[in-house]
Amino acid sequence: MHPLTKTLTSAIVGFAVGAGAVSGGIYAYHDFIPTAQNQGSNITTPYAKVATYTPPTLPLGPDTISNVVKRVGNAVVKIVATVPQQTSVSSSPYFNPFFGSIFGNNLPQQTSIATDIGSGFFFNSQGYLLTNDHVIHGATNIQVYVPGYNKPFTATRVGTDYATDLAVLKINAPNPVPTLVLGNSNSTPVGAWDIAIGNPYDLSHTVTVGVISAKGRPLTIGNRDYRNLLQTSAAINPGNSGGPLLNLAGQVIGINTAVSTQGQGIGFAIPTSTVMKILPQLMKDGHVIRPWLGVFIGTDSQAIAKQYGLATGTGVIIAYVEPNSPAANGGLTTGEVITAVNGTPVSSASALKDIIDKQTVGVKVNITVNDQGKVLTKQVTLGQEPNGPITVPSNAGLGN
C-alpha cells in the first residue's frame, strides 16, 4: 500500500473514458457470527451474505469494539503475494560500472522477487475471499494465512477488476471458513463509528477504530480512478489493503484501500455499494464488462473555451487518444472538443464517462466534436474496457 501523494484534482482528468484507467500521482496502499444466516440474505448477490437492514445504534461501552472483533476476527486473513519485477543489472551489487559501460544505454535486465503483504476477508464459507487487486496484481504466487491453520493456503484468482481495485480469491480449506456479512455503505452516515482490521507492516490482525469522515471521495491513485470512496479516520497503513472496514454490527461497509501521508487520520475504503455491483460479475465471468471509448480528457479553462469559441464549461478537450482504441478507430484526435454524445451535451469529463457507462459494448455512438471551430459528428463503436492500466505519455495535453 503506497502513500497518497497528491491532491484530489490534476491537470489532466486521469481516466480513459469508459475504461476507468487513470493517469495521476496519487498512490494506493498496498460466518459473521453463528446467527449470521438470520441477519443476511442472498437477494442482492447469491455469492455472499448481505445485510437486509440498517444496523441499530449500539450503546458504546468498554467492550463494544472487542466484542465485535472477537466475533468477526477469524474471517480476516493475511495475504502474501510474490511478484516478479524486472530491474536493471546496474542495481545489482555485482554490477561493475566500468564493465557495464559496454552495454551503452541498453543495460541487461534481471528478474527480482518482491513480496507484497495485504489483507482480505472471507465472504463465502467455501473459501472465497475479497481483497484489493493491487495487493495481488502481477503475482505469480499468492499465500493466504488463515487463523486456526499453521500453514498458509495457496490461493487462485477467481476474478479481478483493475478499475475498481477489487479481486476475488479462493482457497481450498478442509472445513467451511467463517465469513463476514456485507453491510449497507449507502445507509452508513458520516460520523458513524468504524473498525478496521488488517495486517499493517505485517503486524497480524491489528485493530484500529475511527469514524466515517466523508463519503463519495474521488481520487486518482496510480493508474486507477476511484470515483466513490469512503474516508475514514481509522488508522490505515501498508498491509491494511484489502481488509474490512466494519460497522458496530460487525458488517463490512468498505474495503480498506489507501491512506494519505500528508495528514493523520485520512484513510480511504471502497464502499460495499461498489463491491456488490462488481462481485457477481467477478464470480461469474472473472472480470467486469464495461463499454470503452479510449480518450483522456484535459481540464477545461476559460482560455481554451475562448480559443474554441465555446461557452465556458461547455465541452471537454481530448488530451490523449489511446492507440487502437475505439476513439482512435472512430477518428477522434487530440485537441478536438467533445460537445455531445448522441445529442446529449457534455459539460465535464465525469459527465462524458457517465454517458459512456450507460451504453453497451459494441454499440455505435455519435460523438459531436468542435475541431478549431468546425463542428463534426463522428461515429464510434464502443469496445470493451481493458482490465489493466493504461499509461498516458508525460507530454499528453494540448500545450500552449
215 burial via Cβ count (<10 Å: 0-12, 13-18, 19+): middle
Pick the closest to residue 7 from 260, 330, 275 (CA basis): 260
Catalytic residue among 31, 133, 161, 165: 165
Known catalytic membership, residue 213: no
357 sits in which H/E element: helix 349-357
CA nearest neighbour of 128 among 53, 83, 182, 200: 182
**Cβ contact 39:55 at 8 Å:** no
Catalytic status, residue 205: no
Q: What are phi and psi of 54, to 5 degrees?
A: -90, 120
**Candidate list 185, 241, 273, 325, residue with the active-site label:** 241
Nearest alpha-carbon partner for 165 in 288, 297, 14: 288
Q: How many helices (H) and strands (E) does the chain have?
A: 7, 25
Annotation says 165 is catalytic: yes
Kind plus residue range of the DSSP H or E element containing 2: none
Residues of the chain by 3-state class (helix, strand, coil), percent to 5? 15, 40, 45
Q: Which of 133, 134, 185, 273 is catalytic?
A: 134
Contact 211, 150 (CB under 8 A): no
CA angle, 32 then 185 then 183, to 5°: 20
The residues annotated as belonging to the active site are 134, 165, 241
